[in-house]
Amino acid sequence: MANILYGVNGEGAGHSTRAKEVLTHLVSQGHNVHVASFDRGMQNLRDSFNVTEIYGFRFAYVNNRVRYKRTIAKNLMTVSHAAKSLSLLNALVEDERIDLVITDFEPLTCHVGHKRGLPVVSIDNQHCLTNAVVSYPKQYRRDAAAAKIVTKLMTPHANAYMVISFFKAPIRKRNTFLFPPLLRQQILDAIPSEGDHVLLYVTSPAPALAKLLGSIRCRFVAYGFGREGSDGNIIFKKPSLDGFFSDLTSARAVIANSGFSLVTEALHLGKPYLAVPVSHQFEQTFNAYWLEKSGYGAYWEDLNKERVESFLFNLPHYRESLASYPRQGNQALLLKLDGLIRDFTKA
């Protein structure tokens, strides 16, 4: 069995949610696994696994858009912690005799793995942009170029890239393997229903969106607005994993930002999706574009009453497309990972 260092990006909950499924499998196979993460990743994984807290790059959000000046300032103030984290990880690799590094878009563990001459396996959705043949709207070419640079810098020169995607795309880079999305077991086991509400979710409070949806004849259940209680046709709720899961599985549809994990969970459950990408975050625009291109929903950078009502009117059309969505489990990726660990640790 192998001693494994697993780096998990802590920005948002998606990375740690899917990493938990892989970590549970690795532990069941008898591997000795040490996790390195921060923020949401640290919070979501520390009760179940051996987790070391490290420095992590964080975006600054204001009114549903990334603010780059604030992001830079925020990270410059804490950059000294990166050096301390690298020292901590080097000591961990030494003390625990790490054989292999797995990273979910976490750069420090990848860097330490290369410095120590260890094999590195990347598991994420971001490398679909760099390692597969994909399209995106021409007006986002500059954003796409920047996103590609960031992706390459985050986890460069991995020995294997395990890329997850909700659509098929030809691979164009060696040592890259494409798999269906990694989903938490709760979603795989869920029996969805169709209630009378539309689930609404935003990364950061968006009062203008709430005001707009208040004028539409539809019942909404909203998360991420930093408030609780009912206001007209909108029920605002505080963060709750169980509550959100229940409202997701019983929703008529979803209106939300287009982070990979929520998009893929909704599609697996057959929920039409109206995507509102976080401004200046190309990964979300990319997900939203392919969601609409696949016929599973729609996306707009700016919503108005007509666009929301058009989405609601077309729900039967989206459900028809979602009926043929390829619903698969995590087994293919986990079996391939088992094989890679055997091959790399033997070498």
Residue 241 has a pLDDT of 86
Cβ atoms 133, 167 nearer than 8 A: no
The CATH architecture that domain 186-322 belongs to is: 3-Layer(aba) Sandwich (3.40)
Per-residue pLDDT reduced to its tens digit, 316-339: 999 999 999 999 999 999 999 999
pLDDT at 73 over 90: no
The share of the chain scoring above pLDDT 90, in percent, equals: 84
How does DSSP assign 298-319, residue by residue? EE-SS--HHHHHHHHHTHHHHH
Do residues 113 and 119 touch, judged by C-beta distance below 8 A?
yes
Q: Which residues pair with 51 in a beta bridge?
A: 35
- Cα atoms in the Cβ-side hemisphere of radius 13 Å centred on 182: 24
CATH number for the domain running over 3-182+330-346: 3.40.50.2000
Which pLDDT band, with edges at 50, 70 and 90, does 56 fall under? Answer: confident
Please, where are the H alpha helices in the chain?
14-28, 39-45, 68-76, 80-95, 107-115, 128-131, 141-154, 185-189, 207-213, 241-249, 260-268, 282-293, 305-313, 315-322, 331-346
pLDDT for residue 64: 46
Tally Cβ neighbours within 10 Å of residue 68. Answer: 11
pLDDT recorded at residue 80: 59
Q: What is the CA radius of gyration of the chain?
A: 20
Structural domain spans, the chain: 3-182+330-346, 186-322
- Coil, strand or helix at 132: strand
| DSSP 3-state of 218 | coil
Q: Which two tokens stand for residue 26?
A: 């690795």
Structure tokens belonging to residue 227:
């408030």
How does pLDDT run across 188-201, given as a tens digit for each residue? 999 999 999 999 99
Which amino acid belongs to residue 192?
A: P
Sign of the C-alpha dihedral computed for residues 211, 217, 223 and 226 taken in this order: positive
Cα–Cα dist 300/206, whole Å: 15
- Residue 77 pLDDT more than 50? no
Euclidean distance between CA atoms 18 and 260, whole angstroms:
11
User: Measured at the alpha carbon of residue 212, what is the angle toward residues 206 and 213, in degrees to the nearest 5?
Assistant: 95
- The chain-wide mean pLDDT, for the chain, equals 92
Residue 59's pLDDT is what?
A: 56
- If phi > 0 it is left, if psi is from -120 to 50 it is alpha, else beta; for residue 156 that is beta
Pairing verdict, β 3-8 and 100-104: parallel
Q: Please report the pLDDT score of residue 58 as a whole number.
A: 58
Question: Directed axis angle between helix 14-28 and helix 260-268, to 10°?
Answer: 70
Query: Under a CB-based contact definition with an 8 Å cutoff, are residues 122 and 340 in contact?
Result: no
